[in-house]
Structure 1
């Protein structure tokens, strides 16, 4: 995209003209089209393979000067010599008209997008200095020269092979970004717009290009009145965090009154504007002619010297060969060859999963990881990688920020810190970029999932039917097992149940208690383990203290489903020893009543079983 790096670089614009000679060989590429774009409403968002967001040039990342907004202290007042638009932040009149016209068209065609002209202007500033890279603008919106970026060969910038047959950029091997808004040809073909109502869509005309930018930014149903959608839209143009920062800074400057119209700069001495037409596809790639050397008209081939017109020069003595300092056995001696530095990293590739998920407040189990590679595809150690959390989210790295830097190890790998999800649900992106290189970023899609609804039981039932009766100081027998079910009797998995001992329908500090193996206490309220796949959970064993009477075991879920069971403690249900356990029976199954020669049948520890009680959700 973009040829200038800073505003100071605009001084070298004349030197860049030579680099644009290939572009000047073709006229502006225009396609016949309907006069407007009503059928373009509801464009899908660019797909993950969209090359527009990949590095395809050097954007002008110079931030705007800190000019006070009009009406603030220090700003020039009306009527003063300096009260007009500031030259550093002003916009050429034709470009400003194009940006405002694009906003107007967007309101008509994509009314829910709310794209502001200031955003379109900010991108035009960063991409081509409002068309200034093309030698200035004519009043009809055409540029003095076509603005064509560098070939996307995969060396310095992304690799994008030709998609237009050279129609827009004159190159049938690789694509170039084109026009004042620097569209990749395939992107322009998908989101082209007619900003003039002339029946043409020309990426080299700023009216059409600005309208196409509005269409591209609005695609996918974005609402640019929301900051998170603005960020998402700008990152479609260039996925660099610095690019986003610069565009937003210029947009704020223009909103604060720094984007007034200034006269169009003089257009280069090229043929006058008279409309542009689409050139036929070339049958062979165009090859630029090397300009003749000044003062040697008509040829660029150097002439050979004729015999006799020069004096032979004295040959220089051959340098003596350096002695071999690395003889066998001298490996550890000074003078041996130094090891070659590791090859430089030229790009990143994902290593492992690229989709992450977690519930609100939880830590993502997967950490984004990338591998830095050299030109030969080998791992590149000691490369610096930047990870950014991008999008509408309150997720953060463990260091409490949205940015984390890592250096690759010996295998070229670098990963982020743990990422903790916030309260907001939805998708966001973790972007990995290679510091100091214009290489394609690696994207990781992270999702904060809405937690599943808690299990919903309609009834709690007891599995066994034995009455819960025992003597003071004794056990109630086998642990109680209950099951959570729906109305249809289907088991509910993951249901949480609380068990409480009550006396006269109130919590009690005396009477039965639950076994506490860990602490040795006598708890009378416990949270049971969540029900398993069969909907069942088991209570801790129940014991009675010395208090006799009838008590209640209450089992309840969070949403009010309850089951109550009677707990009866009475000495008649068995003898109690000093250890608190039921007295032992005689071996023959009979007990002595203290009278000689008479035996009575021993009592059972538990009464006759009764039907198991069931419980359902209380009626209102």
Structure 2
């Protein structure tokens, strides 16, 4: 209860205060939800600092924290979420203790797994760094609200792009395009990208493949977490010390406010957290600068600012104040001026090529494949891009070709952004090969399709003669059984057949090498003309009509009547 009273006192003090804070070093206005001025920060931070673990300090004014990444725009040096964690220690879900904060301490399961995996990987790669996953969680919370509350797919890639403000110098830093719009879909200016908010040029240097899929994607939380860890550990930092920890966080965003906010969440998560189900991004976190693609500033986002070497903001908020703050449409009781300009519409620029439809294809030797590989050229929002040249290439030991005998084919995407390969001919050689799709001259990734050619299989079996197959008791059948296997009317050479008498105890029979009766045969092979001739048949002393069944690979079946005369 003492904690609750302290918190409420801090809220009452916050209600009575107003003003603004100047960003240390970057000198731009920042607002924090429910904390409008320096007096408020002092009250709340004093209460928060009292609960910090030994060795963890809420840093003051730091300006030179880029020891490991000199020359790079800092990944998170822009607008960010300024909400502080609750003053109470986190409690597990279901706790009944007053003030329990299970919801705040919960981290979406996929995102939490990515933070932990990255920290484990860095522990072996940079053992002297001492990076804890809770630091990645603190930064991920502040930068994107844990990828919009865990709005990621099964591979950890965000369901929708998370883009920062357009860095066009109008209220933000001025960073001309460095990636051709590949990551941020803006070919004029850069924007921060993904759950850890990397500038494209910084990603080009620090990008990592955290999930082992062969790609380095800032929109993937596994890749972004590992890259952020590498960045934080750069320059031989020791994050187990206060100085090293402060230096690392400030290298990410050179702001004392940012340092205090990240450290607050870092320490909060160190006291306990738990996984919660991934979300779909429908409820966006209060993370200014994180926008819906093509939209304006996030609704409900407290303002943040900065004109540092990376990114910057100056967003306004129309979210009602939390209870105890005095309410109102603007945070901190004051109106926000100079809202950030809306980002320019996304140009129709391809971001990647993605598979459309099936990924595996099979055909019979000598025939054409029924289906064709296809890919879609997409923007970062998934919109198809027309007019992109896609090259399909046959790779591997195979006789398969495209129409006309070529092993490569260039196709331009249609109005829906889809390019479909020409029809594939299987050739006579059996085995597997790959069809690879790329966009020549563009870094849009590759898409591989698995293809296989199987041996021909008969779809029909027929006798080569219509003479009745009869024999007297204990005599040999006068005519041997001969059948032809065909597929679509053409002979099938080398296909395998089995032959079996339905009655295995009496009636007609074949002889094995020792002359003993057998009533089933396997491994019969057709010749070059698709014909197979069975061994001689013999009759026992049981008159009657019997059935011989032949089956070919692929399922073709033929039933032949045999008669032993009485």
Give the TM-score, by structure 2 length.
0.38
Higher relative CO (Cα under 8 Å, sequence separation at least 6) belongs to: 2
